[in-house]
Chain A
């Protein structure tokens, strides 16, 4: 498809502070014109009347499971799920098999045979095999296209090695996406507190996260490394990040939609679709997440999309795999919980899914002006519906949100001028 004309949509581009009804013309994979009543002839015309038109969403934190766990998800299915959710760029974490700790695996992930339908920006491991013993091939991964480093799923326990990773990665301008968890403290399977006491499950306390957030903020200060805290979930972590930002340190952080929509009180009957790491925290922590999103201490929403095969979930709670899917529910949950509830303007919410993650990655995406890549989401924010797990494009059906009523439906996803989702259906 060479040209697309989007007619009469409400363009919201948080980066450039734009919120207006207009037409957008796309050709040669770029936005070529924005204006009123564009009369150019296009191969495809999309009537966006009463719809919002935004930069394609960017997710800094997902799991595509390939290579190694293709029964859970593949790059082909995961990127389609992402497109269904309005995402045009995603950062898959390196906890694959083999671990993405060298250039060959990065190249494998980026190979066009993987059939990705949107931009895949791989994250490399910090240490070889994510074993926490020696540095991964950081420089060579950067050359091959890795955009960040992460040990996601665990923390680098040794502070000396972590410090070297920060000093070394700075050379390649790679931010570190930091999974913060002291494993010696975090031995339970849900949040520590009254609900864990009620259910008889061993708890994971907030300090297991906060200890590593504090440690790595201190290390970021001494090394000058760009540190991005992954899936922040506790009041204490938010406080540490807030103080670090006040000091002007290069710290950013993300929260997953489930951490501002659910809390440990929602766990009943040992349903492992409510099991993830970090766990659903207390109601108070959940409220703090919303406040911190509103005051922009948390500048990114990232899904931590973690698809699993049913066999990994349909078992004893303590044995069940951590994680839930998120790509296909993130926009609606964010819109419903943050914008409809009047916590923040739509544009601020969208910034956390577009220009803010783009800035952290240092990529020229996440905005929608003349000359931008034609990565675009078109959504109907008046559409109220119930989340239908059976219709999801992801291989993983592990979500606690099935049947939940939400507002805001993604109708079109355009990536590099290609229409990937049309009228809420995949085109490929």
Chain B
């Protein structure tokens, strides 16, 4: 049920493909805390990470996900590589391909960069975040976490809050959740939530309280200062007053609401500290699940890889 060479986004995946990944991840999760269950099944697979943007969680969990399965995992330090001498993305990829790389994991500041790379190399390419397009493995770990806690997707109300305009996480989640039957609301200030997002099959809202009402899942997103121009809102205090989620506002959601965040968190901006550390929060669980989901993706892709 998963025959692809690459994992570029949730836009292209079928419901069945998504469920294959989530089911595989369930088995993988046991291996994280139980090293005796690990079996070196990827010992003949080489993995290279190419991160053109910074990362803590995604990069480290990919590297560990590979190593837990016995793969050879190397990081191309982009800043110290020939990219800094002006070597193009395609040429960089072709060189890594010639070295026998089976899987390339790329994060890039430009939308579509993983797609271009995938067209030019034999290795499998995993999108670890491209511009403001997609971050499929983050969405898959979010889906895994939701399924783990709610047991289903059908009919769930999932609210994604904050800097939607710049968020590849919101977009990948919107693609995935709508395919699986959840109802998705994207909410934030009108300068950060475009109405054309509605074409993705989601509800768009600028009223946080109304958006959160009866929600099963509330997902906060980081304000991405590094991608903003021309002041989408006056200042951080106004933002957190009008659009931040604190325990008071959270009362509008269902009692058993899941609070999620892809990290890194700006504490006190999109979510208040008591919400981040509160009993509904699964933010730390998401991180562990990230390793499980990435182990599953590496396993599935290595089985399909042309070289392997």
Contacts and interface: CB of A to CB of B under 8 A. Distances in A.
Interface stretch (B19-27, B126-134, B233-241, B259-267): B126-134
Nearest to A314: B90
B110 interface: yes
Nearest to A189: B111
29 contacts: A184-B230, A189-B111, A192-B196, A194-B199, A197-B200, A198-B199, A198-B200, A199-B112, A199-B133, A200-B111, A200-B131, A200-B134, A200-B168, A200-B171, A201-B111, A202-B132, A203-B196, A269-B115, A270-B112, A270-B116, A311-B88, A314-B90, A314-B116, A315-B88, A315-B89, A316-B111, A317-B112, A318-B111, A319-B110
A193 B116 contact: no
Q: Which size class do B's interface residues fall under?
A: 20 to 34
Contacts of A36: none
Contacts of A194: 196, 199
Q: Taking each of A311, A316, A317, which has the highest tally of chain B beta carbons within 10 Å of its own beta carbon?
A: A316
Contact of B229 (A187, A198, A199, A317): A187
Interface string B189-203: 000001011011000
A194 B201 CA distance: 11
A46 interface: no
A360 to B, nearest CB: 36
A203 B197 CA distance: 12
Nearest to B165: A202
Contacts of A76: none
A270 B111 contact: yes
Nearest to A184: B230
Given A197-B194, A200-B133, A270-B115, A316 B200 contact: no
A318 B227 CA distance: 15
A315 B90 contact: yes
Contacts of B200: 197-198
A319 B200 CA distance: 25
B222 interface: no
Interface in A185-212: 187, 189, 192-194, 196-203
Interface of A: 184, 187, 189, 192-194, 196-203, 269-270, 311, 314-319
B156 interface: no
B132 A316 contact: no
Given A193-B196, A194-B196, A197-B197, A318 B110 contact: yes
B92 to A, nearest CB: 11
B133 A196 contact: no
A193 B199 CA distance: 9
A196 B197 CA distance: 9
B108 interface: yes
A200 B90 contact: no
A316 B131 CA distance: 11
A316 B11 contact: no
Given A201-B111, A202-B111, A316-B89, 13 more contacts: A189-B111, A197-B199, A199-B133, A200-B111, A200-B132, A200-B168, A200-B171, A201-B112, A201-B132, A201-B133, A315-B88, A315-B89, A317-B110
B134 to A, nearest CB: 6
A123 to B, nearest CB: 32
A184 to B, nearest CB: 8
B113 interface: yes
B199 to A, nearest CB: 4
Contacts of A315: 88-90, 116
Contacts of B133: 199-201
A316 B229 contact: no
